[in-house]
Structure 1
Amino acid sequence: MPLTTTGDLVTRAAAARSAVASFNIITLEHVEAVVAGAESAHTPVVLQVSENAVRFRGGRLLPLARAAAAAAEQAAVPVALHLDHVQDDALLHQAVDAGFSSVMYDAARLPYEENLAATRAAVDWAHAHGLWIEAELGQIGGKHGRPPLDAHAPGARTDPEEARAFVADSGVDALAVAVGSAHAMTTRTAALDHALLKRLSAALDVPLVLHGSSGVPDGELTAAIAGGITKVNIGTALNIALTGAIRDFLADRPEAVDPRGYLTVAREAMTRTVARTLRTLGAPTA
């Protein structure tokens, strides 16, 4: 079916008091697994490409984006494309022609006023070109001469009043908040600050996003959605599934050289992870 938009999927999820899952993709096998898992769960999904993934692919966005768009158009469920953690304005400006409906613009490394100015400029450009835009706010730096604290650093938390001002002044459509998750976790041991999430949900009138969700246990994810999270980002969980399947395959078949064998089991493992995650989130069915 035709590409849908991230904004539409998030709006649907919010109305259903659930969350849409947004999976980071790196290879074609990631793309195929996310779509297959979403079809298995009869659930819409977002395919997201990070700036790091673009860098891995030699700085070229279009090959992976075109593959993702083609897979989305052949999918039996609605699929949207999202450009994730963009810091390079030149990459941001490629989003529309590459088929993306949304972008996460990441200036959280900058002091507050610079972060706000850069995000406001990105929002103005994005909205003028029909893009839904997400930003991220952790612990704001610049207070008492302190530098910014990355939103996924241990102990980082988003302050509700700072978040309210940032959303109002930047005009973003959604905000990723720091409530205890972290990127690249390989164990599901994160404990979220649900009291803070409740305060953030009450303070803000835009959808809230949880990054680093691979490290969050199912019960914590369910509680986070009940507390106001409407978009959940997942990446490392797919890579754990992919890498584990390949390791097991090659351990049993040390003579194997044809990549189709181990990529098949890797894709199947990621598909199962996607389907299980979508069922846990209780996202609206397609």
Structure 2
Amino acid sequence: MDIVSTKEMLLDAKKNSYAIPAFNIHNLETMQAVLEGAWEMKSPIIIATTPGTVNYAGLDFLVGMAKAGAKNFNIPIAIHLDHCSDVDFIKKCILAGYKSVMIDASLKDYEENIRLTREIVNFAQKYGATVESELGVVGGQEDERKVDEKDVLYTDPNVALDFIEKTEIDSLAIAIGTAHGVYKLEPKLDIDRLEEIRNKVYVPLVLHGASGVPEKSVIEAIEHGICKINISTELKMAFIKNIRKYLSENPSANDPRNYLTPGKEAIKKVVIDKIKICGCENRA
């Protein structure tokens, strides 16, 4: 099996009222942990990488690792470029083998957002890649993208359909009360807004900043139309917490195979838990 786009998996999630988790990875170990958890749960999975991760790990290495995962684990695996505003960078990732990308022009004015998104859609369609875009502004920080709380804009349901029709995107990331990073207070999702958007549009809907959102709220969001859930911060926190614990208990340790393993095991547990919450177990 080769890496796939997110098109069929998200359409099936939309049809059957569940969600696919997209886990942000950073290196071989974090990708392995995500794939092992997904394979154990027989779940389709989305491996998400920010531009910062691509620059850190290397584009060809990431695609190569994802292809190796698809060869060794008999589940649908998509590798996705998350939150990228650089058109040339997105095209480079598609040419390298990415089958799913997110053009994030949400900080631009509406017409420019449409123009840039449409350009990527036209390019991606030539290579069988799917495109996600964002309407509204999700707060918090993802790589170098930082949005203060005062600048957060919720997605306007009345504009969503127009945006989708003009861009022909495959999925829409919406702003309904989540943020990237660590929450200071429990987030309150605008489920009424989500329901209104779901009733107006026909593409799968995406929830960013789901790390730290209470389980009941995630489940409610899925019940009201969310088809893809982005998870990043919870993986990083679990990874480093268990590495620190191991090094604290083994101060003379110097073999990365030993101290990275507890981190991988912690990520795998998070992955399995999120797959259960999303309802995508045994959907591969």
Question: What's the TM-score once normalised by structure 2's chain length?
Answer: 0.91
1:110-149 deviations in Å (ceiling 9; x for gaps)? 1112111111111111123221111001159xxxxxxxx9
Aligned residue number for residue 4 of structure 2: 4
1:279, 1:187 → 2: CA distance?
Answer: 25
Residue from 218, 221, 226 that aligns with 1:221: 218
Assess, with a 3 A threshold, how the Cα gap between structure 1 residues 27 and 201 changes in structure 2: closer, same or farther.
same
Aligned residue number for residue 143 of structure 2: none
Question: What's the TM-score once normalised by structure 1's chain length?
Answer: 0.90
Gaps of 5+ in 2: 139-145
Aligned residue number for residue 46 of structure 1: 46
1:237, 1:55 → 2: CA distance?
Answer: 22
Gaps of 5+ in 1: 141-148
Q: Which moved more, 1:29-38 or 1:6-15?
A: 6-15
* Secondary structure of 1:31's aligned partner: helix
Runs of 4+ in 1 over 4 A off after TM superposition: 149-155
2:48, 2:149 → 1: CA distance?
Answer: 19
2:178 aligned partner, one-letter code: S
1:46, 1:163 → 2: CA distance?
Answer: 24
Aligned residue number for residue 196 of structure 2: 199
Q: Which moved more, 1:214-223 or 1:161-170?
A: 161-170
Aligned residue number for residue 112 of structure 2: 114
Residue from 58, 61, 64 that aligns with 2:59: 61
2:155, 2:194 → 1: CA distance?
Answer: 9
Q: Is the 8 A contact 1:47 1:81 kept in 2?
A: yes
Assess, with a 3 A threshold, how the Cα gap between structure 1 residues 84 and 152 changes in structure 2: closer, same or farther.
farther
Q: Which moved more, 1:211-220 or 1:184-193?
A: 184-193
1:265, 1:154 → 2: CA distance?
Answer: 38
1:164-218 deviations in Å (ceiling 9; x for gaps)? 2111111111100000111112678222110110011011111100011112111
Aligned residue number for residue 167 of structure 2: 170
2:244 aligned partner, one-letter code: R
Q: Is the 8 A contact 1:49 1:83 kept in 2?
A: yes
2:190, 2:148 → 1: CA distance?
Answer: 14
Residue from 254, 268, 272 that aligns with 2:269: 272
1:51 aligned partner, one-letter code: P
Aligned residue number for residue 145 of structure 1: none
Aligned residue number for residue 250 of structure 1: 247
Q: Is the 8 A contact 2:66 2:77 kept in 1?
A: no
2:25, 2:185 → 1: CA distance?
Answer: 20
How many residue pairs match? The answer is: 276
2:263, 2:243 → 1: CA distance?
Answer: 6
RMSD (CA atoms): 2.0
